[in-house]
């Protein structure tokens, strides 16, 4: 089959996924249907007596029937709490205050116009992907900030804004385990790997950086992979962007002298905020460090306050630009801009309410735990490359149902870390295989808190866009990243390269 025919075949396949997906009901109705499926499944499997042994506590965990009178009362009573407790809901809304002000005041438009005038398109795209990958160190901030910001940048460059949103979403999530800087995710998985390894060898010395060499090597590789998939699949699939009536549009504009002056003030405000963060973070015993450990990552004010910090990074330059340009003349203008930025989040908030109920039902029923443990049992009789690939695929499948990386690893680490150790694999290798599987389907799973935000973002530019649009455009990244990353890990395994400091592939006798 020629290269051109292959591209046409893939394009038709992705087009079929998009059309089929967009024929599905509205996302709100989809979450309602899935909630109903979970309720019925909980009743069915509970009646069948399905149960598994928890690898962490050695206690039996059975599927809980959510259609009992007590469970129905719980559904009624805790619906509001489920909504309030939805991961990243508050963070999204707070950060959008800053982003919204920067957008409504005109700061983003003039800033992006200025950047596009000066920088080559390709360099800007590379930087978006690179910042997105590195941004996963900031936890929730990157997948919240990058999609709408990248969409605006792409739109201003004359590219399809949905492509920007997709790339801004996939970069921090699909490459979640890749980074040049050790971060919170390293500490989270290590917290479960260490006690799991102690089940076999209590004296084995492990460290939180035991995957660092591998994840640092992965960063530039995945940067190239994401860029290539965008050029090869996303742009051809989306085609030319033709704004419809009532959706976000852009126009070519000349920047006036007053706007350039306002832009200088706004950029100065941005640099001042960054400088203040550096002063409050870098010195020993700085205010934003963990008071006990001195860490900037683990339980530090910097990471715990990342929502307000990200808001200020956009809020300050947005406010300064509005003041100097005249777009904010008084307090009423200021208030209206903040209100308008929140009104654009209405669709996101509605979706979140129903998504929160579905995720709560899934957790209450214990279906996720059962799927994880049963899947682990399927791999117990395999070894070598088959075991590695099987474990990555299993983790990526479970990730579709359990979005939290730490929750999954809490279930899987006590099973797979000892099992791999008995096959002479170092826990660092097992942990890295898990992190790859956990990352590659992040952009596909509806069980992750950021998907409603991505959907709301792409619908700003295409009112007809739906789950199908999202799935068709994120699937190539999941497949491509999964294949390349797995090949790298297998190469690491065959060459016996260390994954990090004092962290070989195999246990040393």
Tens of pLDDT, residue by residue over 129-152, are 988 888 776 556 678 778 888 898
Does some domain include residue 93? yes
Contact 425, 388 (CB under 8 A): no
Write down the pLDDT at residue 140: 61
424 vs 297: CA distance, rounded Å: 32
Does some domain include residue 361? yes
Of 313 and 411, the one with more pLDDT: 313
**Which of these, 9, 480, 3, lies nearest to 237 by C-alpha position?**
9
Give the distance from CA 345 to its chain's centroid: 19
pLDDT greater than 90 at residue 219: yes
Q: What is the mean pLDDT of residues 229-251?
A: 77
Tokens representing 4?
A: 């051109």
pLDDT greater than 80 at residue 291: yes
pLDDT greater than 70 at residue 18: no
pLDDT greater than 70 at residue 482: yes
Share of the chain above pLDDT 70, in %: 86
How many domains does the chain contain in total?
A: 1
Handedness of CA 378, 415, 397, 367 (dihedral sign): positive
Note the residue count of the chain.
Answer: 509
Write down the pLDDT at residue 421: 81
Give the distance from CA 468 to its chain's centroid: 19
Does some domain include residue 506? no
Does some domain include residue 352? yes
pLDDT greater than 60 at residue 7: no
300-309, 332-341, 366-375, 431-440: least confident range = 366-375
108 vs 396: CA distance, rounded Å: 36
Of 371 and 82, the one with more pLDDT: 82
Contact 373, 411 (CB under 8 A): yes
Write down the pLDDT at residue 509: 47
Does some domain include residue 66? yes
Of 334 and 185, the one with more pLDDT: 334
Q: What is the pTM of this model?
A: 0.69
Does some domain include residue 505? no
Contact 433, 449 (CB under 8 A): no
Q: What is the mean pLDDT of residues 267-280?
A: 94
90-94, 116-120, 201-205: least confident range = 116-120
Tens of pLDDT, residue by residue over 440-453, are 988 888 767 788 88
Tens of pLDDT, residue by residue over 21-57, are 556 677 788 788 889 999 999 999 999 999 888 766 6
Q: What is the mean pLDDT of residues 245-266?
A: 74
Residue 33's CB is within 10 A of a number of other CB atoms, namely: 14
Does some domain include residue 508? no
Q: Domain limits at 112?
A: 3-495
Helix and strand element counts for the chain (H, E)? 22, 2
Give the distance from CA 396 to its chain's centroid: 14
Q: What is the mean pLDDT of residues 90-107?
A: 84
163-167, 366-370, 489-493: least confident range = 366-370
Does some domain include residue 503? no
Type and span of the H or E element at 60? strand 60-62
């Amino acid at each position: 089959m020629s290269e051109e025919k292959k591209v046409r075949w893939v394009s038709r396949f992705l087009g079929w996924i998009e059309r089929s997906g967009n024929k599905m009901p509205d996302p709100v109705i989809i979450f309602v249907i899935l909630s109903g499926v979970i309720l019925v499944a909980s009743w069915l499997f509970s009646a069948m007596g399905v149960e598994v042994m928890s690898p962490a506590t050695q206690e039996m965990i059975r599927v809980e029937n959510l259609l009992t009178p007590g469970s129905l009362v719980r559904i009624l009573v805790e619906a509001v709490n489920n909504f309030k407790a939805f991961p990243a809901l508050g963070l999204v809304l707070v950060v959008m205050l800053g982003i919204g002000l920067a957008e409504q005041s005109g700061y983003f438009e003039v800033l992006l116009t200025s950047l596009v005038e000066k920088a080559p398109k390709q360099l800007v795209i590379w930087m978006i992907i690179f910042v997105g990958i590195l941004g996963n160190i900031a936890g929730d901030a990157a997948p919240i900030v990058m999609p709408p910001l990248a969409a605006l940048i792409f739109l201003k460059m004359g590219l399809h804004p949905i492509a920007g949103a997709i790339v801004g979403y996939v970069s921090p999530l699909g490459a979640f385990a890749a980074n040049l800087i050790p971060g919170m995710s390293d500490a989270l998985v290590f917290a479960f790997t260490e006690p799991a390894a102690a089940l076999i060898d209590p004296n084995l010395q492990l460290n939180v950086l035991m995957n660092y060499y591998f994840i640092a090597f992965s960063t530039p590789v995945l940067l190239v992979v994401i860029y290539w998939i965008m050029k090869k699949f996303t742009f051809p699939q989306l085609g030319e962007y033709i704004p419809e009536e009532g959706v976000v549009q852009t126009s070519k504009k000349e920047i006036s002298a007053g706007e350039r002056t306002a832009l200088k003030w706004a950029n100065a405000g941005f640099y001042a905020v960054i400088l203040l963060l550096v002063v409050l973070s870098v010195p020993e015993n700085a205010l934003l460090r963990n008071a006990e450990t001195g860490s900037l990552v683990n339980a530090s004010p910097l990471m715990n306050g990342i929502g307000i910090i990200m808001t200020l990074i956009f809020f300050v330059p947005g406010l300064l630009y509005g003041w100097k340009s005249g777009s904010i003349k008084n307090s009423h203008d200021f208030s209206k801009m903040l209100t308008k930025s929140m009104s654009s989040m209405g669709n996101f908030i509605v979706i979140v309410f129903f998504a929160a109920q579905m995720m709560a039902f899934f957790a209450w029923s214990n279906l996720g735990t059962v799927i994880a443990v049963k899947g682990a049992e399927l791999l117990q009789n395999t070894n070598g490359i088959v075991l590695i690939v099987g474990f990555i695929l299993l983790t990526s499948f479970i990730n579709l149902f359990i979005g939290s990386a730490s929750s999954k690893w809490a279930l899987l680490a006590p099973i797979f870390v000892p099992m791999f150790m008995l096959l002479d694999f170092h826990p660092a290798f097992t942990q890295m295989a898990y992190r790859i599987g956990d990352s590659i389907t992040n952009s596909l799973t509806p069980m992750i808190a950021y998907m409603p935000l991505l959907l709301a973002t792409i619908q700003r530019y295409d009112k007809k866009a739906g789950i199908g649009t999202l799935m068709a455009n994120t699937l190539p990244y999941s497949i491509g990243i999964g294949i390349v990353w797995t090949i790298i890990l297998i190469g690491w395994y065959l060459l016996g390269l260390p994954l990090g400091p004092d962290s070989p592939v195999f246990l040393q006798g």
